[in-house]
Chain A
Amino acid sequence: MVAFLLRRFSQSIILLVIVSILGFVVLNLIPGGPLAQYALDPGMNQDDRTRIAAQMGLDRPHWVQYFDWAWRLLQGDWGTSFRDGNPVLTVISRHVPATLLLMGSATVIAVSIGTWIGIRGATHRYSVFDYVATVAAMIALSIPTFWFGLIGIYFFSLRLGWLPAGNMYTIGDGSLLNYLHHLIMPSVVLALVHIAIWSRFMRTATLDAISQEFVKTARAKGVRERRVIMKHVVGNALLPMITLAGVQLPSLLTGALVTETVFTWPGMGRLFLDSLGYSDYPVVMGLLMFSAILTISANFIADVVVALVDPRIRLA
């Protein structure tokens, strides 16, 4: 077990290094760069531009820049934003909580509703509920998130006036209720596609588990049907779902960035687009590393949880 964790952990580190190199290379391949914005500035000459490049350390070979950046990162220094001169960590941490809040609430919605739909679809296979859920999932999967966002804004904000069309809170009103009110629509919109994915996988996993012999054993013991489903079937069906949760995180993050743009949510999505526009390399690299760490640790945690929950791995 410890060996397994150590192996997975070292794999994660190697993966992070690869991601950082790829990110750095791609970023430097993109035409433009931090100096492009000064290129047409009549008040600057070539000397000024060279001086700025030297100041930013951009005159050094790319591999030196990379190792310098990586070495500082290891020491906890994520660099300084080219745009406003603030430390990257400060810039990112201003935007991360909003994104995490959105992702968290969408996950809660998607997992709880998706699990319920999946179990019910499997235990009532080929029922009206099952067919409706299947068709609804296909619709949710084939329509992009931003469309749902726009439709939601049109109906619930413009027509009905029930929910705010954007932002995280009303300026001047910082109450919890106000936050929640703003949170409802973005998180539901973000959750939609994940409810669809989660319910489909949960349905399959439940069907797999329900046909196992031990379910018949439980029934033969006289265990009540409700407990047969909740304890024996769902218990075993949830195992593969833990792994799925880890795998789904990147798509949740991408979805969050889109949703933030639609609902002018002050999260990482906005920051990422702006920083890319300004060629603010340190911030972009910082966001990239943050997403990579988030994804890799989510998968690592999923593996650990599976190992802890499944005695066949825990005790092997």
Chain B
Amino acid sequence: MNTEPGNKDFPEIALAIRDLTVALPKGMERGYAIEGVSFDLHRGQILCVVGESGSGKSVTANTMMGLLPKAMKISAGSITLENREIVGMDAEALRSLRGRVVSMIFQDPLSALNPLMTVGAQIDEAMTAHGFGTQVSRRERAMELLTEVGLPEPELMYHQYPFRLSGGQRQRVMIAMALALEPTILIADEPTTALDVTTQAQILKLIRDIQRRKGMSVMFITHDFGVVAEIADSVVVMEKGSVVEQGSAEKVLKSPDHPYTQRLIAAVPHLRGDDRRSLQTAHSAPLLKVRNLVKTYTSGSLLFRTRRVVPAVQDVSFELAPGTTLGVVGESGSGKSSLGRLLIKLMAVDSGQILFEGQDIVTQSESEFRKLRPKIQMIFQDPFASLNPRMTIGYILTVGPMAHGMPARQAREEARALLKKVGLDPGAYDRYPHEFSGGQRQRIGIARALMCKPQLLIADEAVSALDVSIQAQILELLDRIQRETGVSMIFITHDLRVASQICDDIAVMQKGRIVEQGPPSQIFTNPRSAYTRELVAAIPGESVQSLQPEMAGP
């Protein structure tokens, strides 16, 4: 990108960033959070800034808002926002721009709203901060905004506290707040990442609609090329703090120049409509049979009639053959994680049967079940929280099997062999979790699960916290392990694209029930239930996969 001078004369550029460099405090893994970043945000366009974690995309956004943490300083470059240079601007002048000329929405709508203030008070505050209107006019404006972002019953919503709202509703409130003073620029930092796929589709549509109606310029930060394909006019790709590629959405998605972009797009999990080549031998008995499983959560008190009953798992039945993978997909609250916990007896079952190799584990006591525990292992979502930071990898891997009677020497040898198998250096044995990246930790988590030679692996959102390129590697690893060891898997995920990659059979859950179960070819190309159809339709960036063949070239 050439940096022609005099871009201030072109009013169609709402925001211009030139050679922006932000230094990191000393002792970090690299000297700069972002280095030499240049791009333009054209008026009335949606610019997607794409990159994996650590690429500097959020730092770029925070720099433009003047919201950098104290430890980070702009060391070079310029940011021209609506013809004003904001690098070096004093704090008060910068503050008066925030929320008025440029607004921002964030990733997690749960924590982005003050729990102690009503929705109305928080929208009102965005206006009072800039001395806008009177109490009456601000209230009218808030009602208008709540209607505009599609929230039902604005009057009621105005007096509601955030904890009463769903994730999608909270994000709508955030958007209403950001729009209060009709800013010309909206910065959206991963605004749909924490949302369910159907909610994500609605919020994306809302942002697109509002952007068109108001001719706003939107800088949309995301890691998801599916989202990029849905809404971007132009794209900036960032890697390790630098811009590696930029251009129109069509250009970047269809014929990316930079190898990093090509890798990223290739790694995007796309829906596979075909079925997986299964390992299952024709007539083997099922490893796991689940019959009419029911689990209900109750809270509150019967005495005071505040009792709430939430059915988590309702009448769920399925079978799992040896060496196959069952995907359990659903949105938050669908009961998919509860199902996973029931299967390894982390929670008591209300009724129903779980037959593991013909034995009903529901009726077994904890001491009877202990013998089976090594055979059923779990891989967790958060590779940062699920490894004890004070234990070496070797200890983490060997403690379980040794508790079940494996000799120390054998455990040590197997641990080293497994580390190699999951693609890590056997030298990892003596190191601590913090020395590894997220993807490497998830490999350790998988090695830990495999130490006991399980027959069933339950992976609960095992790749959700990882970047797409890492995600693809972990999925490949799980596939390879299944082919080598013949282990069965239950793969719990909210991401249908991921499920389509690895599962032989998919169960779609909604409100505790399995609404549809079948091979990927049925679920994705010929879904029978209305809910599955809705879920599949909401997957962002369906067009990406149609682009796949075209980007095979260099």
Residue among B103, B116, B130, B177 with most chain A CB within 10 A: B116
Interface presence of A13 (CB below 8 A) = no
Give Cα distance in the complex from A222 to B163, angstroms.
24
Interface presence of A132 (CB below 8 A) = no
Which of B113, B300, B303, B304 is in CB contact (< 8 Å) with A217? B113
Interface presence of A159 (CB below 8 A) = no
Give Cα distance in the complex from A225 to B70, angstroms.
14
Give Cα distance in the complex from A219 to B91, angstroms.
11
Give Cα distance in the complex from A218 to B177, angstroms.
10
In chain B between 103 and 143, which residues have their CB closer than 8 angstroms to a CB of chain A? 103-104, 106, 108, 111-116, 125-126, 129-130
How many B residues touch the partner, as a band?
Answer: 20 to 34
Interface presence of A30 (CB below 8 A) = no
A312 touches B161 (CB 8 A): yes
Point out the residues of chain B lying under 8 angstroms from A310, CB to CB. Answer: 115-116
Nearest CB in chain B to that of A315: its residue: B161
Interface presence of B270 (CB below 8 A) = no
Interface contacts (Cβ under 8 Å), in number, total 83
A236 touches B67 (CB 8 A): no
Which of B108, B125, B164 is in CB contact (< 8 Å) with A218? B125
Interface presence of B306 (CB below 8 A) = yes
Main secondary structure of the interface of A (DSSP, over half): helix
Interface presence of B204 (CB below 8 A) = no
Nearest CB in chain A to that of B306: its residue: A3
Nearest CB in chain A to that of B106: its residue: A213
Point out the residues of chain B lying under 8 angstroms from A212, CB to CB. Answer: 111
Q: Produce 1/0 per residue, A219-230, CB < 8 A to B.
A: 111111101000
Question: How many whole Å from A229's CB to the nearest CB in chain B?
Answer: 13
Give Cα distance in the complex from A212 to B113, angstroms.
9
Question: How many whole Å from B488's CB to the nearest CB in chain A?
Answer: 40
Stretch of B22-30, B94-102, B516-524 lying at the A interface = B94-102
Which of A213, A221, A235, A312 is in CB contact (< 8 Å) with B129? A221
Give Cα distance in the complex from A212 to B188, angstroms.
18
B65 touches A220 (CB 8 A): yes
Point out the residues of chain B lying under 8 angstroms from A214, CB to CB. Answer: 111-115
In chain A between 287 and 316, which residues have their CB closer than 8 angstroms to a CB of chain B? 309-312, 315
Given A236-B114, A310-B116; A220-B103 close (CB under 8 Å):
yes
Given A213-B106, A232-B114; A221-B164 close (CB under 8 Å):
no
Point out the residues of chain A lying under 8 angstroms from B114, CB to CB. Answer: 214, 217-218, 232, 235-236
Nearest CB in chain B to that of A1: its residue: B306
Interface presence of A216 (CB below 8 A) = yes
B98 touches A221 (CB 8 A): yes
Give Cα distance in the complex from A217 to B91, angstroms.
17
Question: How many whole Å from B388's CB to the nearest CB in chain A?
Answer: 24
Point out the residues of chain A lying under 8 angstroms from B177, CB to CB. Answer: 217, 221
A311 touches B161 (CB 8 A): yes
Question: How many whole Å from A309's CB to the nearest CB in chain B?
Answer: 7
Interface presence of A2 (CB below 8 A) = yes
Question: How many whole Å from B115's CB to the nearest CB in chain A?
Answer: 6
A221 touches B125 (CB 8 A): yes
Closest 10 CB pairs of A and B: A222-B99, A3-B304, A222-B98, A213-B111, A221-B99, A220-B104, A311-B161, A221-B126, A214-B114, A213-B112
Q: List 7 A-B contacts (CB under 8 A).
A: A3-B303, A219-B65, A221-B98, A223-B99, A223-B125, A236-B115, A312-B163
Binding site for B on A (CB under 8 A): 2-3, 6, 212-214, 216-225, 227, 232, 235-236, 239, 309-312, 315
Binding site for A on B (CB under 8 A): 65, 67, 91, 95-100, 103-104, 106, 108, 111-116, 125-126, 129-130, 161, 163-164, 174, 177-178, 300-301, 303-304, 306
